Each structure stands twice: as C-alpha cells, then as structure tokens.
Structure 1
C-alpha cells in the first residue's frame, strides 16, 4: 500500500539523503522546510553542512522537472515540494500560533484529509525527529514516526563486545591445557567477532570459568595477554574493565570504543593506558585528549580569556581524572605538570578538524554527542601509527537530533565490530562509588 511521507526539517538536516529512504512512496517537503534549511546554510557546523547538501541535491533535481509538480526518484518514489497545502485552519484551532512546526503539521493534516475524502487507502505519515511534533501529530489524529532509516541496529541488539558461554567443564579444562580453543570445534550457534571477549562458565553450575578473547583472524579463542597489574596506579576492578585495558594496551588494535554509564571508569582507564603508552613506553609521540563542546543544560554563553581559559569548563572532567592519576595535592598543580611534560594535549574537538594526526594516542570523550559524519571526519584524521579511543554513554545525549541508536558512537561500534583492527567493550558496573552506581541505576 502506497504512503505519503511528509518530512520535517530536522530529518533532512540529520540526513540529507533521507529523501531516498522511503522506497517507491511519495515524499513531500513542505515549502516552510525550504525556508528553515535556507536559514541554516551559513552555519559552520554539521547543520550548516547538511543544509548545503540538501540545497545542492534539490537544485540538481530541478534539471529533471518542476519540484512542485513532482520528480521521480531513482528508487521509484516521487519527490514533491508542496506549495498548495497551506490551509492552517484545522491546526490553528488546536494549537493557535502559526509556528513553522505547526505549518508542517498543517501540510500533513491537509494531505491526510484529502486522501480520506477521496476514499483512498493511501496513508499519510509525518516523519520528524522532534518528539513534540510527533505528539502534536498524534493529537491531530495524524500518523507520525521518527526517522529510523539511518539506524544500524535496534536498541536491544547493540554489540556489547563480549559474550558469556555456558559449556561443558571439559571445554574449560581443554583451554587451560592447550591455551587456546578452536571456534570451529565449539560449533557455536552464535557469531563471534574478532577481538570479542568470551567468558566461559561451567554449565554444571560449578565456579569453574575462563576469560578469553577471539583472535584477530576470528578463528580461535586465546588467553588475554595482559596480567591484572596496575596501569599508572589503576587496576581493573571487574571483568569488563580488564577487557577494556586489554584493548587499550594492544598496539595492534588502532580503534577502540568504550561505552557505559557514568562512573564505570571509561575515561580513567583510557587516560591511564594513554599515559603508559606515551610517557613510559614511548610508543606514541603525544597523548591527545578531546571532547565536543556540547554543554549539558543552558549554555553559559561566551567566556572571557584565552582559548585555554574558555575551554576549561568543558575540559574539567578530563583534568579531574588527570589530577587523580598524577596524585596532585594543590589546585593548579596539574597545569604545571602538563606544561612540563609537553606530550599531553587537551583540546576541544573543534580544533581537530582538518588535521592529520600521526603517531599519537587519541582519546575522544563524550563521543555519543557526535553525528555519524563527525565520527567519520575524526577517525579519518588518524594518521599512520596512531591509536584512537572513542568513548561515551549512549544514554546521555545532549545533541537535539541524536538518540541512543542514531549517534556516531553507536554507529561506529556496529560498523566496525567485524573488523580485526577494532575492539569494543560495554562497561556495566559502576566503580566510582556506591552512591554513583545507585544514581546511575535508579535515576
């Protein structure tokens, strides 16, 4: 059954290729959406880039015909810029003010009413990433949905980076005897990925267990190479933290992703591993730490001072962890230490774009606030001999158009899970304090 999809502005600003995601159905872009896209095209950020991409895409389609009459898309669908469905009466009765959102709702509602009057079975669907717009549509009796085509996986199927297998105790004994297990001989019904960790447990219920890792070629299970010794004073407190350190300290894995709730140790483990590799082993020339400048809550506006002073409020979580690792006693000591070392650089993510970064240990914190394109831009900056660590909590999104599934961190975890050059771990147990763990679980 054919459908009519009316697109909100935020869908196109999130994914300029969204018009091709609706198969052979009719795609409607309300005229007010073009006005909103035009107002964003001069921005220097991701929204501005996407606004310009949409503008160029629509401009190229004009060669095929008039947009207000409809253009046949490559997937068999029909794209139309709507100018005539501007009656605002029905929506105004419900919501009053003639906002841009309400105008988009009016277009969708008028289309829906027309189809019903014709006795057609064609459904009209409003597609928006704005929760309140979808709620308003529901109040008006309109069908509305989020834009889901760019999601790589459902929320329940997110890759955790490790699996637990219950096996016969003889299998665990075989591992301890030969120090490896062939995946083929185990005849597993589930798929295991390169660098994925496996916890073997006795199916008979005893305490016998083993912690292993899938080899980079994905053909066998092998032991962890690292012991549980302290790394810059930090010792793994649970199995997932030990897995994370195994990935962070493995020079053959240039891309590591860490996810988990607040207090699970993501930042501290990554910084400890980076300091060991840069300061002690001299494997990398520099430790570069960056995070996106996305404030939680109301922005505090422009800050006075030099670049370092402006960035300090957003970079403070990084400095807090560095102060713990260096065991500083006084305020300001960490700045003196970092100035003296010269090999540790704390930056805002804005200043990484356009750079080529060879021979460095790179940590990107709060990566859940990055879009897919931004993650691609950052990882493609990584030069020869560098290692990059992206980490964050997909449940704590401060970006208006992202969620736990569509953000850049989740995207790269899913895209790279089958690659031998990457590894991922989801940290689950909070180790900051009992109160922090309770807050993460209950609040």
Structure 2
C-alpha cells in the first residue's frame, strides 16, 4: 500500500452500504416531480443565455488516479463558474429568477417574463418591491445575492456566526443585507424563514422542509446544468463506474444522482455520498432509513457541508438512488486541497476549496483502506467522476490550509 500518500490512519473513512439502493428501479413519476430532464432543458436554455455562461472544464487527474489505484479520475472544476468561484451560481440565482418571473406574471398576467426583461429592469416597479431571504454558509448566499442584484430585487442573507469574514464580504459586495445569527447553519435557516414570514419576504433556500418545496427544486434543477456538461465532456467510450459527491443538505448529490439516474437508467454509475465525520446527516439518515439529524457538532473545515438536517426533497431521490454513504475526517479534505495545489494529479495546479474537494477526498480516503476500497469496488479498471464544486471562495481560509494564496498556486 506504499503508493498511497495519505497515511491511512489519518484518513479513516466510515462506510455504509445503502440497503435500499435499487439499480433496477426506473426513474419514475415521483422522482420526475422533483428533478427531470424536461425541467433541466428549461434550466439549460435559461442559464445558457446568461452573460458569462460557459461550461466549466472537466479535468483528468492521472496522477491521483494512479494513487487511488484506478484507471481514470475526472474532476469537474467549478472554480470559474460565473466569476463566483462555485457551482452554487447555477442554483440560487436561477431560483431567484424563477421566483421573480412567477411573481411578475402573477401581477402582470398573460406576459411571459424573460431573464432579459428582468436584467434591463422592464418590471423594476414590481421587482424592487420584492425581497428574497436565505441562509448560507457562504456560496449559496453569494449566488442568491448576485441573482437579486442582476434580476432587480432586495436581498437579506443570514449567516451562522462561524461564516468567515471573506465569505461575508463577498455576499455584501452584491448589495445584500447581511444578518449574522448566533448559532449554526440550521439556526440561520430557521431565522431566515421566521423573519421572511414576518416581513413578507420570499425564502430562496437550498434546503427543503415540510411545506417548502418549489424553490429548492429550482435550486437543484439549476445544478443539473453542471451534471449535463460533465456528461457531454466525458470521452465518448468512457463512462464513469463511480461518482463520489459531497453531501451538505443533500441538494447537490440529489441533483447529480437524479440526473444520471434519469439519463442512464440501470447503466448509471455507483453513487457514493461523502460527508465530514462531524456533519453526517445523510449518512445517519441512510442508517436509520428516514431523514435524521446529525448529532455531530458540525465543526468541520468543510464549512459548506456543516449541515445538520437533510433536505426532504433531496432525500426522496437519495433514499434509493445512492448506493453508499461515506464519512471522512477533515484531514482528508486538507490533503486533497494540497495535492491539487501541488499538481500531484499530473497537470497544472488546481485551486479547490475545502468543501469542494470532499468527493475527491472521499475517493482517496476510501482507496487508502483495503477493506473500504474492496467494499466500494474500486478495482484497477474503475473510472471515477468527482465534482470540484468550489475554488478558493475565501482566499484567506484557502491560504491558511494550503500555505500559499490561490493566486500563487495558479501561477506555479
């Protein structure tokens, strides 16, 4: 095992094989009511027309594939998405657009409202009177604030006390009002919902809960644009055998899982959800067979994944769509960030944020442990797709972890 640079002891993963996973199950009406190719086409047509839209690169990482003892490793690099540094730009802003279009149509009936109408302020009289609110660990709030600025409405963003100064500043740069909540991400979600109800604001959350489903569905559907890009960028004859995707509330893995399930059916890859040890609500839900809170302290370097409660919509897809649930220690994410920064993958250095590398870190941790590697079927001809969902969305935090600022890493 000497070819594994992550010392196995520092990166001991926990694996749970999902007994409800069903590769024979057809992606049916219940699933399509949440995420569908038809709704994806709509999201793609919309987002593809936004200024600055371009597919992000799918990078091959031969060096890390060798380290993991597999044939191929592809990394979807979201660090340049809409100059926001994160895939979240596809979700929050798209949900803001859909919400404003619905509200304008309700007030100006019979008129189809386009993104361009909103960007040029054709309905500014209406949109200026509307406010969206959201809770965030950073990236989702930045996306919602950007969407509110671009499409012309007010925005209030709630962040947990632990949200870094750099991430707060990035949100305020888009003109949003920032509210710091004394508590964790889940407390910020509750505060945003309560204040929105009191003030007549619209919640644009990436998590769904009882009675609140439409907007998170739009957020998740926006993410499928990234998944479809990856599908089209893969070499024609080489489909992945495995996909490792980081968890959070579940919106991202559900979007990836649902899109691949509907697109490829039984031929879809083995799907592995990766979470930090201390923020493992999806892992615990899988073990329990129903949505369950994490009882960890949610203290993790992977701050974007520090979520204690599962999105119900996401769970409806992952419950039978995800094959395995894996949790990893923070060291795994730190090691993955440093490897990408050093170019250990066999190419130009890649700047990747601490939450964005969790899928890759999960693969490397799993591959370093014979038992876990075998349980996941990570054989020498395995081909793995991971989603690098953020760059250095907080340059100071990045530099603290990697030892060099992102600008210097890029120049290397």
| Same-fold call, TM cutoff 0.5 | no
TM-score (normalizing by structure 1): 0.23
Q: Which has the higher helix share?
A: 2
Q: Which has the higher strand share?
A: 1
Task: Say which structure, 1 or 2, has more relative contact order (CA 8 Å, 6+ apart).
Answer: 2
Task: Name which one, 1 or 2, has greater alpha-carbon Rg.
Answer: 1
